[in-house]
Amino acid sequence: MKRVKIGLCSVVTASALALALAPSPAGAATTAARTGPASTPASPQAAVVPAHGPVPAGTVKIGGPGSVGTYDHQDGACNSLANGDGDFCFWFSTNFVGSLSDFFFSDSNLGNNTFLTPGLGLGAVVANNSESALNADTRLSVLVYTGTNFTGTAGVVRPRQFGNFNATFVNNVESFEFF
């Protein structure tokens, strides 16, 4: 089961043919539907050492005012849409160097995804092979986990935060979820 975030709604895909919409309750904070555990850790540790300054040039494609943008998952671009939605992106090496893999929705097993763009790591499996990350979403945080299916040690990457993974998570992330 995959979960996709779209604006203030969550879309749950049970298969390519079945979709169920789950709008956020009125007045509730915007959250993505989750495929993980029933509760979020109370105080997960920070997963990245935050980089300072602007997002590295050429890293994020930003949809302009009035643009619909793209909700494409694994399209090889770290998208940040005008409505605030954005991808979670992994890089093979530190400081956003090497091949990139981008995700628009949570993934319980990064072992079945590869790095997509030209550069060091192209074609390598994402699980246990990423050294830096960027959360291009402006509202949702991301929990990264050291195990598949949202298990193991959890760490948080806040909205619009980017940097190198700390010692716990460098080359040690196997699943993640938006929350």
Confidence class for position 15, pLDDT limits 50, 70, 90: very low
Of 11-25, 31-45, 96-110, 146-160, minimum mean pLDDT range: 11-25
Strand positions, DSSP E, the chain: 2-6, 9-13, 19-23, 45-46, 48-50, 60-62, 78-80, 88-91, 100-103, 132-135, 142-147, 151-157, 162-165, 175-178
Structure tokens at 128: 């246990």
Alpha carbon distance 122, 114 (integer Å): 7
According to CATH, the superfamily of the domain at 45-178 is Crystallins (2.60.20.10)
Q: What integer is the mean pLDDT of 152-158?
A: 97
Tell me: pLDDT of 32 over 50: no
**Residues forming a β-bridge with 178:** 142
Q: What is the pLDDT of residues 102-144, one digit of tens each?
A: 999 999 999 999 999 999 999 999 999 999 999 999 999 999 9
